[in-house]
Structure 1
């Protein structure tokens, strides 16, 4: 029986369950396979399937200075499926930072000689789209800071967008008069659009946390306490998100994603950590304290703790402040180092799902 003898839906269902690396190789079998695996309907079905299994089989991208590595961590076997692959980038970037990932696409930021380059890239297919360069014009003489960045997707409009916020102040004025330049690039367009200013000062210099169709950061407004600010990728509006009712203070806060939910990592000065999860997006009462870590830290510093995924047994794969990976068992409250042979010391780790989506094929639907 050939592929033509199978009903389209059955064939799609079968192939969408195959590993992304195998699908990528299958595109080279023949023209009919290439055309089928490039069909937008199949790519969306494969994305849905990959999203369902992402928590248990995350693809990791490791930023090791000037080199990036790809590792597929198989939670079911509690090991990696293949040897780490050093990625040969089809583009040139200096001082690489991972802005974020969404639906298998990874957004990278490069900085050199006061020029910022932004690339949206699929590490599996190697397809990429370099965003247009825009010279930034500010009124008068200005002092610019590093940009706040974010990368996300709007399901309602089926578009991917990159957000860039640059804060500046005119020489001779106080820091309190800081202003902002907010720009959005819709993947598939040929320019950045200015959408005004943001009335908050975002504290995180690089990456927004993408959850529920919106990017999230901690921000302040004048002398008021910090708040969670969201940017809806669809309607391009900034909003405030309620925080948990902590009942205590004296800690640093950080936003991440855990199990598909917005989570807040609270690091106390005595090296305790509490992780809160918002189960019902936008509802203050839905914040729950997922787990706490109270034992003396022996594997590193908690300041930049980042969850990457769950294991089959319930352990959490965590990135520490120096790129070190550890597994934490919240039931037994135990840590264990997670080492990947063949990979040098990394400064940054990101998680993404494996898909066949091409950033070049993403069209502007607005």
Structure 2
């Protein structure tokens, strides 16, 4: 009986030690929490979404607001050299709106589109903290917030019915902003008046923190020329507009002060009549590319400073054989379109880095956004189905 008892005790003792060691290894993970958090914050969103299944502690950590903010800051610094590009095009046969992502050195991947396919038109603005806004022009009456990296979206209900066309409104212009003090993503919906209007533009503001719209008091009178903001700098949106004063009608920039919730006019760079221009974000500043239409065109790069105004940063080129400049990335690469498609152009080496053409895309339908992925989610977001 004694050997049997000893053998049984040995088995029970071995099992107990093994289970205890396994639990300890899983819970402690051999590394301090701070180091684990730092390592995880350097990983791409796709990897982190898989790592949420490792254990409850990792799932809880990856969902914390502080971790999400830290991850986005690290993504911003890591992606300065190789930007991801969100591409919006129209299909030549079906006329459907196609949304794609280019992550160098990978190929272009079509994304699941969260916008209602039965609507004939769609515009895109952003991104802010990895979130973009899709809406239907000219009235912005269907608004969807979308995180492409998380594959989640949310339809935003409107405050009230759309004003009648005869009410003096031309269209609605949409912009995104971010209030860092309140940690709140904002949608701005500006009702644009005609060039001869004398009344301030009605403005509606949506808070993703409070999940509601409110009418914003506005004293600015101007004629905004596009259905989206032209650029977003550190959470602050800018528009191009015509304003009328004692001098007459002239082009100005309109900036939204996120803290004070008011609009302000800024001077616009004067250009020649035949000069083309494109607003871009350069080193977290508002920039503008200007060029003249010809076979070998140089591109002037301008940057605006709040105190000194516009100053010329550099001249790049010559660029050969392009029809238009689609945009510019944070790292200075220029996206240009010609008869063969869309090209990613390195102005330093004067060479083409990549072709960004989407199959069956309509010429001149390309809209590109310099994209930074994030883990940010808005309450009520759901998974985008194929």
Structure 1 residue corresponding to 2:76, chosen from 37, 47, 51: 51
1:228–1:241 contact (8 Å) kept in structure 2: yes
Aligned to 1:49, the other structure's residue is in SS state helix
Please list every run of 5 or more consecutive structure 1 residues that lacks an aligned counterpart in the other structure. Answer: 170-174
2:172–2:191 contact (8 Å) kept in structure 1: yes
Q: CA 1:235–1:208 in structure 2 vs 1: closer, same or farther (change >3 Å)?
A: farther
Larger relative CO (CA 8 A, sep 6+): 1 or 2? 1
Q: CA 1:139–1:342 in structure 2 vs 1: closer, same or farther (change >3 Å)?
A: closer
Structure 2 residue corresponding to 1:161, chosen from 186, 193, 196: 186
Q: State the shift of 1:273 in Å.
A: 3.0
Query: 1:206 maps to what in 2?
Result: 228
Q: State the shift of 1:239 in Å.
A: 1.6
Question: Given the alignment of the two structures, is residue 109 of structure 1 paired with residue 135 of structure 2, yes or no?
Answer: yes
Query: 1:233 maps to what in 2?
Result: 258
Query: 2:109 maps to what in 1?
Result: 85
Query: 2:167 maps to what in 1?
Result: 142
2:124–2:135 contact (8 Å) kept in structure 1: yes
Q: CA 1:331–1:126 in structure 2 vs 1: closer, same or farther (change >3 Å)?
A: closer
Name whichever of 202-211 and 83-92 sits farther off.
83-92
| Bigger Cα Rg | 2
Query: 1:357 maps to what in 2?
Result: 376
Q: State the shift of 1:72 in Å.
A: 4.2
Query: 1:327 maps to what in 2?
Result: 344
Q: CA 1:307–1:324 in structure 2 vs 1: closer, same or farther (change >3 Å)?
A: farther
Tell me how far apart the structure 1 counterparts of residues 227 and 298 of structure 2 sit (CA, whole Å): 25
Q: State the shift of 1:269 in Å.
A: 5.2
State how many pairs are aligned. 338
2:130–2:372 contact (8 Å) kept in structure 1: yes
- RMSD across aligned positions (CA): 3.1
Q: State the shift of 1:286 in Å.
A: 6.7
Tell me how far apart the structure 2 counterparts of residues 216 and 14 of structure 1 sit (CA, whole Å): 36
Question: Given the alignment of the two structures, is residue 300 of structure 1 paired with residue 326 of structure 2, yes or no?
Answer: no
Q: State the shift of 1:132 in Å.
A: 1.4
Tell me how far apart the structure 2 counterparts of residues 317 and 27 of structure 1 sit (CA, whole Å): 37
TM-score (norm 2): 0.76
2:101–2:111 contact (8 Å) kept in structure 1: no
TM-score (norm 1): 0.80
Tell me how far apart the structure 2 counterparts of residues 288 and 117 of structure 1 sit (CA, whole Å): 39
